[in-house]
Structure 1
Amino acid sequence: MPPKPVPEILAKQTVAKSRLFSIESLDLRFSNGVERNYERMAPSGRNAVMMVPITARGDILLVREYAAGTENYELGFPKGLIDPGETPLEAANRELKEEIGFGADRLTPLKEVILAPSYFSSRMTLFIAQDLYPEQLEGDEPEPLEIVRWPLAQAEELLSHLDFSEARSISALMLTLRHLKLVGESHDSMSKE
């Protein structure tokens, strides 16, 4: 089946703006002639990264930080925006150093995800961070982040933890577990040959 043509943008205007966000109204015409108005967060041109740090002892490192959206402290993986001129790998290593005080000699990209494609265009690249080494950079957080060590062997228990609810962190965890299982199965099959 051939791909559908992208709807034609008939008009675009900013309907609200804050220090951080700009909301656009789009008048669209679909290939069947139907016209609709959509609202979205205006593209910022900045993407983000999230890392699942795994220590040599077999722990994953999470951070607990305040989330204004839920008005509560939430547990998740280190994350942040990619600065202009940075690659996702460079941003991942910088954010690790700022948020948990470690860099990573090995960053494995898992997947690029979009939070809500109907409203946002920003992408987040998910990584596994391994071969960690201590290095601290000053971050932009208003208070020190609480670092939580969680045994990798008990990672699936995080799914029922009340304050581990961010969809991107859950996706990163599930993709990490799948990746580690596939790598383990590959290693096991090679050692049997």
Structure 2
Amino acid sequence: MKRGLPIVHGVHTRHEAPDRVVEDIDLEFGNGERRLFHRVRAQGAGAVAVVPMLDASTVLLVREYAAGVHRYELGLVKGRIDPGESPEQAANRELKEEAGYGARSLVRLRSLTQAPLYMSHQTHVVLARDLYPERLPGDEPEELEVVPWKLDALHELILREDFSEGRSIAALFIARDWMAHHGDRR
């Protein structure tokens, strides 16, 4: 069933913290029902999750401290897009800062949302290939461990206790399928 979008009668913006903006949206739905929805507005241009391919079958993961779960967590290179950067530029910068590699080929595969019912934040999944060693200083308090992982062992990775971040899991499945259908194209 195709529905039209609700009518927006007004938006009230409030700053809950220096980096957290909440919008209260007064909406009227097609059936006449009216509700107040709350949306956490994304700050900046979003983020990137980088899938760095060392070769056609090996992805590079990083292990870093995750304060939310108080443990070291395996995952993809990730980071914010700085003002004026494209997702591809941000992906290459983050890759150099976190994993010590740059990429000659960067392909934006798609964007992911985390909680689209109340957040506008998007993470752009970028496939990085044709890697070369290059390190830039980053903002991490310690050098991250780089862990090569075979894509054909993804079924083992997703069951590990120290690999739980949803964007990394989704991005690896997307990249694996993209590589299976387009992998030899640059």
TM-score range normalised by the length of the shorter chain? 0.7 to 0.9
Compute the displacement of 1:3 (Å).
Answer: 4.2
CA deviation string 1:105-133 (max 9, x = no partner): 11122111111111211211112211100
Distance 2:141 2:7 in 1: 42
Aligned to 2:85: 86
What is the alpha-carbon distance in structure 1 between the residues aligned to residue 143 and residue 22 of structure 2? 31
CA contact (8 A) 1:53 1:128 kept: yes
CA distance in 2, matches of 1:66, 1:50: 17
CA–CA distance in structure 2, aligned partners of residues 24 and 143 of structure 1? 36
Does the C-alpha gap of structure 1 residues 68 and 159 become closer, same or farther in structure 2, counting only changes over 3 Å?
same
For residue 146 of structure 1, report the CA deviation from its aligned partner.
2.1
Q: Partners of 1:181 and 1:26 in 2: how far apart?
A: 42
User: Going by fraction, where is helix more abundant, 1 or 2?
Assistant: 1
Partner of 1:13: 13
Specify the alignment match of 2:135 in structure 1: 136
Q: Are the equivalent residues in 2 in contact too, given 1:102–1:134 (CA < 8 A)?
A: yes
Q: Secondary structure at the match of 2:79?
A: strand
Q: Would you say 1:4 and 2:13 are equivalent positions?
A: no
Question: What amino acid is the match of 2:49?
Answer: M
Aligned residue in 2 for 1:117: 116
Give the stretch that moved more between structures: 159-168 or 27-36: 27-36
- Three-state SS of the structure 1 residue aligned to 2:54 is coil
Who is 2:41 aligned against?
42
Residue 66 in 1 paired to residue 65 in 2? yes
Query: What is the deviation of 1:95?
Result: 0.7
Normalising by structure 1, report the TM-score.
0.85
Residue segments in structure 1 that go unaligned for 5+ positions in a row: 188-193
Deviation digits for residues 137-168 of structure 1, max 9, x if unmatched? 11112222222222233233111111211111
Q: 1:176 maps to what in 2?
A: 175
Question: Which secondary structure does the structure 2 equivalent of 1:137 belong to?
Answer: coil
* 1:113 and 1:123 in contact (8 A); partners too: yes
Cα distance in 2, alignment partners of residues 60 and 111 from structure 1: 18
Cα distance in 1 for residues equivalent to 2:42 and 2:50: 23
Greater CA deviation, 52-61 or 124-133?
A: 52-61
Which stretch shifts more, 50-59 or 171-180?
Answer: 50-59
Letter of the 1:7 partner, please give it: I
Matched, 1:105 2:117: no
Q: Distance in 1 between matches of 2:30 and 2:52?
A: 45
Kindly provide the amino acid, as one letter, of the partner of residue 142 in structure 1: P
Q: Structure 2 CA distance, aligned partners of 1:46 and 1:164?
A: 26
- The two structures, once aligned, show a CA RMSD in angstroms of 2.2
Match of 1:191 in 2: none
- Asked if structure 2 preserves the Cα contact closer than 8 Å seen for 1:45 and 1:122, the reply is no
Secondary structure of the 2:109 match is strand
Q: If you compute each CA radius of gyration, which structure gives the higher value, 1 or 2?
A: 1
Deviations 1:45-93 (A, max 9, x none): 4211111111138431111222233333221100111111111111111
Secondary structure of the 1:55 match is strand
